[in-house]
Amino acid sequence: MISLEKLTKVYGHGDRAVTVLENLDFSVDAGEIFAVVGPSGAGKSTLAQCVNLLERPTSGSVVVNGENLSHLSEAQLRIARRTIGTVFQSDGLFSRRTAAQNVALPLQYLGVTPVEAKRRVAELLDRVGLSERANYFPHQLSGGQRQRVGIARALALRPSVLLSDEATSGLDPESTASITKLLKELRDDLGLSILFITHEMETVLQVADSVARLDRGHIVESGRLVDLLRDPNSELGLALKPVGTAKHFGTGENSWVIQYTSTSVPTNWVTALSEALAVPVSLLGASIETINGATVGNATIGLPPTDEAQTIAAAARLGLTARLLPAPSVIAQLPAAQLPAALENSEQAA
């Protein structure tokens, strides 16, 4: 496992000092994929460099399997870094070396015998599904295949932690899906702790067990992915899975946002809610799926005028939260990114 304890990184001194990361605390257990998301300038790149000790933290610790790497000498650190494999946004492959030769580089650096290195490279390329591309050069591989070679190289020294620094950025959806599938398989098979740094929210839904949002050098929210998606008050949960907006509203209908907050939401909840309220329910938009074995998501529904407290209570009995949206004709035109503000305003007005 890997743990960050009060990790802080400051560049410069005195009046010119800039704090990029401040007092970061989180742990990634063995067999867990922990995603860190955040806007540009949040400190994600600096975090990656501090985790693999390419940049030493100003204070705080990076602890891997109980060993504090932050206070090691350079000689000790060179050995300790073998516990952390890194996959970069740019595949970083040498253009004049084949896939097999790129994967072999860490092994050659350590003086592994040619016979043993060949065996290990073949094993790794088979593991990432590229045995038949062993003798291909990078320009002969697709972007997704090059990242697979990068993953194989990162695993060459049998690390316990894998750091993925924007590894799917710039890949097409099919390649992204194949990389996230591979990372989950490696997590399961090797018991890796995977720190997945990205700005791609959709990719987080595909791969992560837990997620944290980094903003201006601070972790502002974190938790298990499913818990965040089921929390109606989680800004991160909403950002990961925006509320589905309606394309149209029936005349005289009020619009409601419905969110899954329980493990026991019935599949026929629309019918059940209609029966409980004795009014028709129009399903206007929805984004519902299974993530990590749990059903999560939200929907926008239309209802004739009903008692607000009664509607909220009826939804709660089905394992749902219900929020009344103001001015349906106006809300219907709002992009998903503006819905949180609309919801907040409606609650304040109430």
| 155 backbone φψ class: left, alpha, beta (φ>0; ψ -120 to 50) | alpha
pLDDT of residue 232: 87
Same domain? For 210 and 249 the reply is no
CATH of the domain at 196: 3.40.50.300
Same domain? For 273 and 149 the reply is no
Same domain? For 166 and 301 the reply is no
Higher pLDDT, 65 or 346: 65
Same domain? For 181 and 277 the reply is no
The answer to the question of residue 233 being in a domain is no
Could you give the number of structural domains in the chain? 2
Strand blocks (E) in the chain = 2-11, 18-28, 33-37, 59-64, 67-68, 84-87, 161-165, 193-197, 210-215, 218-224, 254-260, 282-291, 294-303, 320-324
Same domain? For 94 and 204 the reply is yes
The answer to the question of residue 230 being in a domain is no
How do residues 96-137 score in pLDDT, each as one tens digit?
A: 999 999 999 999 988 899 999 999 999 999 999 999 999 999
Same domain? For 208 and 327 the reply is no
Same domain? For 212 and 274 the reply is no
Contact of 189 with 11, CB cutoff 8 Å: no
Same domain? For 213 and 251 the reply is no
- Rounded distance, CA 324 to CA 216, Å? 33
Query: Which tokens hold the place of 244?
Result: 């589905």
Query: Which tokens hold the place of 191?
Result: 């018991």
Same domain? For 194 and 137 the reply is yes
Does residue 350 register a pLDDT over 70? no
Going by pLDDT thresholds of 50, 70 and 90, the confidence category of residue 40 is: confident
CATH of the domain at 269: 3.30.70.260
- Rounded distance, CA 6 to CA 142, Å? 40
Same domain? For 76 and 182 the reply is yes
The answer to the question of residue 234 being in a domain is no
Higher pLDDT, 346 or 203: 203
Can you tell me the mean pLDDT for 233-255?
Answer: 73
Q: Can you give the pTM of this predicted structure?
A: 0.82
Instruction: State which of 162, 195, 223 marks the end of a domain.
Output: 223
**Percentage of the residues of the chain whose pLDDT score is greater than 90:** 67
The mean predicted confidence, pLDDT, of the chain is: 88
CA 295 to chain centre: 17
Instruction: State which of 196, 223, 250 marks the end of a domain.
Output: 223
Can you tell me the mean pLDDT for 202-209?
Answer: 93
Query: Which tokens hold the place of 6?
Result: 């009060």
The answer to the question of residue 235 being in a domain is no
Instruction: State which of 192, 223, 254 marks the end of a domain.
Output: 223
The answer to the question of residue 165 being in a domain is yes
Q: How many CB atoms lie within 10 A of CB 328?
A: 21
Query: Which range of residues forms the domain containing residue 298?
Result: 241-349
The answer to the question of residue 231 being in a domain is no
Three-state DSSP class for residue 73: coil
How do residues 276-290 score in pLDDT, each as one tens digit?
A: 999 999 988 888 888
The answer to the question of residue 259 being in a domain is yes
Same domain? For 274 and 333 the reply is yes
Same domain? For 77 and 204 the reply is yes
The answer to the question of residue 232 being in a domain is no
Does residue 10 register a pLDDT over 50? yes
- Rounded distance, CA 267 to CA 245, Å? 20
